[in-house]
Structure 1
Amino acid sequence: MNDFLLSVHVLAAILAVGPVAVAASMFPPYVRAAGAEEDTGPRLTAMRLLARICRVYAVLGALVPMFGFATAISMGVLGDPWLMVSIGLTALAAAVLVALVLPGQERALAALSAGGAAAAGFDARRARARLAMWTGVFNLLWAVVTVLMIVRPGASHGA
């Protein structure tokens, strides 16, 4: 049962978090380019698609910790320090995504849809920089969690 739960947990992480990481990383360059153009139609279409991918897969990403907790309970490692740190970093990554990345994407889309850089003093360069920064933080947190899940500091692996 452990192998099954672990496999589902890893597959959920790859299939749910991976698309968010990629789509969120692709979004900021579109913000800058769309802010500098008169005809933003094609770029806005791409940005809407990327934002939708992020939103949909963020919801599916809730499966990752669900299967992770089931796996940890099954394996008897729920109280291990490496796992507790991973849980905390996962919660932080989710908070960055939900509180900073997704709303930033929505604000950029709203401003660019309403007329680009002229819309309410929208600064495309600043918006791009913030989105890129928070997306990088999100991706870095997931990278650290992935390493912790593989290395499991202090856990006995067997040689």
Structure 2
Amino acid sequence: MTDENKHYIRRRNAGALPWEIEPDTRKQEEHPVFGQIEAQPAVREGARVQPLPEDFAPSREILEFLQAHQGIPLDFIVTQLIDFKLYWHETGEARKAWQNKFKSHVIYQWKRNQSETGQRAHRSTAEKLTDRSWDDGFQFEDGDE
């Protein structure tokens, strides 16, 4: 925490309103080992609210995440991109995080698709607990021979 932040916090705790606090103009001392302590890096500005850009495309990180962590094939993602862009361009709604919105859309549609096509079988608890399909073709080596 910088001295300026400490000064601000002390003044606020004393009851001063933010616009009444003058910046701390005292010179920073040099640290004996690290030298002059540099100011905090500028805070990165957050995403702006904007309509979906015409040239929107999912980032490489989003594509890799969807494939690696959700098991969604690339061709399914591409078909969802078309629907996503058509819908959001038509509504003209402005949002902040389009990449994240697209990721959520694809995951939702993938789960919905899997449920509708029956690829994710719904089995009872008893069926799940007694499932022995994992040992198909498994043979123990007999050490008595």
TM band (smaller chain): under 0.3
Per the normalisation by structure 2, the TM-score is: 0.25
Larger fraction in helix:
1
Higher relative contact order (CA 8 A, sep 6+): 1
Per the normalisation by structure 1, the TM-score is: 0.24
